[in-house]
């Protein structure tokens, strides 16, 4: 914070949210202004179940946080020596509410102006200062409605999780639907039936060489991975090869003459991409750069604070005309006049709830090809943004895709085998010149129908169908956006909430794996509050919030429908809670059941929330397997598909004596059993294994590797 100015200076106090912006804005505005920061949120609804007065118009009383009390005290001191208060909080609904809360808590007696910086540059700051306005009451109402909705949802629904799973868990209006998607995808993977099949292919000795795959055998289509369903079945009018069939066909094809039997040419066009919005940037940061949502959002905030990019929380691809012109000029400078279309491209959001007042994510200065920042993430993300902005104004990539059919006759049975291969020739690279994206391009040698194609070898390859891929942060954000769940400002917090409570990732893998507790929580939510986890509810609520922001519906109207009477899209939360209480009995609804144990004669089930006493005396909640009166704790991040019936039954075998696996470096390696389940002893000493490792399923080689790593 700056020191309090003397009254004689008659300075204007400018308040922003992030402290990282202060120095840059202060330098732009000069000594007639004092720039200070709220350091983010400084006030909130008290964390109590009764903090919202549902009987009296949903009245709430915001309270200063511990940090906020210090911030407001400092801001009051600065305001005492100022002749004007300028509210320059972020240009979104949350920023508008923070601006109003500043007025509420500072109680200024000097003139108040509201300005919105779309970028932290001299031009943008001066333009905003020259065009002040007032705090938008409708945007404030929309932000407060959202906050109260989330408070009611969390504080009214979460107690059901405490009574059925364990204390400390939470439900959320956006978090719960996101969790549902992650858990449902894992269930799909668990139920998926893998299919093993073989493909037959030929490799040519042309220049360049290429590989063609068998597509039909005597007119019957040959199945590929995409033709198998989740049960491992294919349509009856298709054929799948097993290893023996494929091998015999390869032998019968040896020496066969391969000729070009068909050529199909089609126009290829890949459209230039839209400029980035927050969701698409976060997706590419994860997919292309391997940067997680939280780190990517932090990099965006740093780039914005340094004046390098426009406002980083946006859902609109719109760019200002001068920015469009600058992007076109950059493309022309780098790649020539022919690299851009005759008319400039202007974009608008398709989503009705998009805030068109915000521009797309773009550089503030197009001639700034790269930036020097603290941290590699920010520099790499800036490069993505710069390239995408230029690419959005360039020509589509066009060319020709050629599909070639090759026919060969197999000996013995006189089978007609048709192979196929496709290649693309890019004639106009367009935006590819700046993105360098060549992933879907493959070239073929010149071929004509009737040509004999020299073959280097025939062969076959084994394939195993794969279950649907787990969500990553990037792919989950993509689906959330498609379903209208969440906002640019909430994607990072959604991912953080999930990671803190319900999902994890293997080292080196970005896949979101739901924990055992995640399955239990989703089970309770689907039983008691299914309507509130449906994507339709959350997207409909976003529509209502946009109506509040537009001034067409009031704060109390939306909350009344949500809490008291419903609105046809969803039932009233108060009634749902009353009806849902007691619907889920954890004693009769375990997370999973594995059937009757063959030796013990009792059902083996998986439950979440059992408290186990640690060696330090603390009671720790953790999932456990139960068989009669016997419980075995398991790690919360145990992958559900590893809990096979055979494996689980083995954990409850009556013989629980230590089992010797072998010898390592002159000492016995054995598996012993305790109240926490199986553990490893080496030479009589307990060896700490990595968290989540199933020692009963691990190989001797894996266990010895961990012994060596532990020293």
577-620 per-position pLDDT tens digit:
888 887 888 888 899 999 999 888 999 999 987 665 555 555 56
Higher pLDDT, 641 or 233: 233
* pLDDT computed for residue 634 by the predictor: 85
Checking if the pLDDT of 662 tops 50, the result is yes
* pLDDT computed for residue 356 by the predictor: 47
Is there a contact between 14 and 88 (Cβ–Cβ < 8 Å)? Answer: yes
Q: What is the DSSP letter of 15?
A: E
Stretch(es) of the chain classified as CATH 1.10.290.10: 278-391
For the chain, the first-to-last Cα distance in angstroms comes to 50
In this structure, is the dihedral angle defined by the CA atoms of residues 387, 388, 390 and 395, taken in order, positive or negative? positive
Class of domain 7-135: alpha beta
pLDDT category at 633 given cuts 50, 70, 90 is confident
Checking if the pLDDT of 131 tops 70, the result is yes
* pLDDT computed for residue 616 by the predictor: 59
Is there a contact between 197 and 463 (Cβ–Cβ < 8 Å)? Answer: yes
Task: Return the half-sphere exposure (C-beta side, CA atoms, 13 A cut-off) of residue 684.
Answer: 0
Is residue 462 within a helix (H) or strand (E), and if so which, with residue range? strand 455-464
Range of lowest pLDDT (91-100, 319-328, 485-494): 485-494
Model pTM score? 0.84
Stretch(es) of the chain classified as CATH 3.40.50.140: 7-135
Checking if the pLDDT of 655 tops 90, the result is no
- Percent of the chain whose predicted confidence (pLDDT) is above 90: 64
pLDDT category at 53 given cuts 50, 70, 90 is very high
SS3 153: helix
SS3 103: helix
* pLDDT computed for residue 270 by the predictor: 93
SS3 431: coil
Partners of 418 in the beta sheet? 216, 407
DSSP string, 200-233: EEEEE-SSS--EEEEEEETTEEEP-GGG--TTS-
pLDDT category at 4 given cuts 50, 70, 90 is very low
CATH label, 196-271+397-464, candidates 3.40.50.11540, 3.40.50.920, 2.70.20.10, 1.10.10.10: 2.70.20.10
Is there a contact between 535 and 483 (Cβ–Cβ < 8 Å)? Answer: yes
Q: Which residue has the tokens 């300075």?
A: 11
**Among all residues, which ones are annotated catalytic?**
311
495-537 per-position pLDDT tens digit:
999 999 999 998 878 999 999 999 999 999 999 998 888 878 8
Mean pLDDT, to the nearest integer, of 651-664?
Answer: 78
* pLDDT computed for residue 2 by the predictor: 44
Stretch(es) of the chain classified as CATH 2.70.20.10: 196-271+397-464
DSSP string, 20-48: GGHHHHHHHH-TTEEEEE--S--EE--SS
Alpha-carbon span 190 to 521, nearest angstrom: 18
pLDDT category at 6 given cuts 50, 70, 90 is very low
Number of neighbours of residue 617 by Cβ within 10 angstroms:
6
What fold does the segment set 159-191+470-580 form as a domain?
Answer: Topoisomerase I; domain 2 (1.10.460)
Number of neighbours of residue 414 by Cβ within 10 angstroms:
9
* pLDDT computed for residue 380 by the predictor: 94
* pLDDT computed for residue 414 by the predictor: 83
436-477 per-position pLDDT tens digit:
876 556 679 999 999 999 999 999 999 999 999 999 999 999
The backbone torsions φ and ψ at residue 569, rounded to the nearest 5 degrees and listed phi first, read: -85, -35
* pLDDT computed for residue 677 by the predictor: 65
Higher pLDDT, 589 or 249: 249
Task: Return the half-sphere exposure (C-beta side, CA atoms, 13 A cut-off) of residue 110.
Answer: 19
Checking if the pLDDT of 383 tops 50, the result is yes
Range 278-391 has CATH code 1.10.290.10: yes
Q: To the nearest 10°, the Cα dihedral for 348, 349, 352, 358?
A: -90
19-42 per-position pLDDT tens digit:
988 999 999 999 999 999 999 899
* pLDDT computed for residue 7 by the predictor: 45
């Amino acid at each position: 914070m700056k020191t309090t100015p003397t009254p004689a200076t008659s300075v204007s106090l400018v308040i922003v949210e992030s402290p990282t912006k202060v120095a840059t804005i202060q330098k732009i505005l000069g000594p007639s202004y004092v720039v200070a920061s709220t350091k983010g949120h400084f006030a909130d609804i008290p964390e109590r179940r009764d903090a919202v007065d549902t009987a009296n118009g949903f009245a709430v009383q915001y309270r200063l946080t511990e940090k906020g009390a210090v911030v407001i005290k400092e801001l009051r001191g600065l305001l005492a020596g100022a002749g004007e208060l300028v509210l320059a909080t972020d240009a979104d609904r949350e920023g508008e509410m923070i601006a109003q809360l500043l007025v509420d808590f500072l109680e200024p007696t000097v003139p108040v102006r509201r300005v919105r910086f779309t970028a932290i540059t001299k031009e943008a700051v001066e333009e905003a200062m020259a065009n002040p306005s007032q705090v938008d009451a409708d945007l404030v109402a929309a932000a407060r409605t959202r906050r109260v909705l989330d408070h009611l949802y969390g504080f009214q629904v979460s107690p059901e999780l405490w009574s059925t799973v364990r204390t400390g868990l939470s439900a959320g209006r956006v978090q719960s639907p996101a969790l549902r998607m992650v858990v449902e995808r894992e269930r799909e993977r668990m139920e998926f039936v893998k299919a093993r099949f073989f493909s037959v292919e030929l490799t040519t000795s042309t220049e360049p060489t290429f590989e063609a795959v068998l597509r039909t055998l005597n007119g019957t289509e040959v199945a590929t991975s995409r033709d198998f369903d989740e049960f491992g079945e294919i349509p009856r009018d298709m054929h799948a090869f097993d290893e023996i069939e494929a091998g015999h066909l390869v032998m019968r094809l040896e020496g066969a003459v391969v000729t070009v039997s068909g050529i199909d040419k089609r126009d290829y066009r890949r459209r230039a991409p839209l400029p980035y919005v927050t969701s698409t940037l976060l997706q590419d940061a994860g997919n292309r750069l391997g940067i997680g949502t939280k780190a990517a959002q932090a990099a965006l905030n740093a780039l914005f604070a340094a004046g390098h990019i426009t406002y980083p929380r946006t859902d609109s691809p719109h760019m200002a005309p001068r920015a469009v012109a600058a992007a076109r000029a950059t493309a022309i400078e780098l790649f020539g006049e022919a690299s851009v279309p005759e008319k400039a491209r202007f974009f608008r959001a398709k989503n009705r709830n998009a805030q068109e007042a915000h521009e797309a994510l773009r550089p503030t200065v197009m001639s700034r090809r790269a930036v020097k920042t603290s941290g590699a993430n920010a520099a790499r993300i800036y490069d993505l943004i710069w390239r995408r902005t230029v690419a959005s104004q360039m020509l589509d990539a066009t060319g020709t895709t050629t599909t070639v059919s090759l026919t060969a006759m197999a000996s013995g049975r006189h089978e007609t085998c048709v192979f196929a291969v496709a290649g693309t020739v890019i004639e106009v690279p367009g935006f590819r010149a700046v993105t360098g994206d060549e992933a879907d391009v493959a070239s073929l040698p010149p071929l004509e129908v009737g040509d004999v194609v020299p073959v280097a070898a025939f062969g076959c390859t084994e394939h195993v169908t794969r279950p649907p891929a787990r969500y990553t942060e990037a792919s989950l954000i993509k689906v959330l956006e498609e379903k209208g769940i969440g906002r640019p400002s909430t994607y990072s917090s959604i991912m953080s909430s999930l990671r803190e409570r319900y999902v994890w990732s293997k080292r080196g893998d970005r896949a979101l794996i739901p924990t055992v507790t995640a399955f239990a929580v989703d089970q309770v939510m689907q039983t008691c509050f299914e309507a509130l986890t449906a994507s339709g509810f959350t997207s409909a609520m976003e529509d209502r919030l946009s109506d509040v922001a537009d001034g067409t519906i009031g704060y109390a109207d939306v909350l009344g429908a949500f809490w008291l009477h419903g609105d046809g899209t969803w039932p009233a939360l108060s009634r749902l809670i009353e009806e849902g209480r007691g619907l889920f009995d954890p004693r009769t609804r375990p997370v999973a059941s594995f059937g009757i144990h063959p030796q013990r004669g009792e059902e083996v089930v998986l439950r979440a929330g059992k408290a186990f006493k640690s060696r330090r005396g603390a009671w720790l909640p953790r999932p456990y397997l139960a068989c009669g009166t016997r419980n075995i704790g398991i790690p919360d991040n145990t992958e559900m598909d590893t809990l096979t019936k055979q494996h689980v039954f083995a954990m409850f075998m009556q013989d629980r004596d230590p089992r010797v696996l072998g010898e390592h470096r002159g000492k016995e390696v054995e598996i012993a059993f305790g109240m926490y389940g199986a553990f490893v002893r080496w030479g009589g000493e307990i060896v700490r294994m990595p968290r989540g490792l199933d020692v009963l399923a691990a190989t001797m080689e894996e266990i010895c590797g961990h012994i060596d790593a532990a020293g």
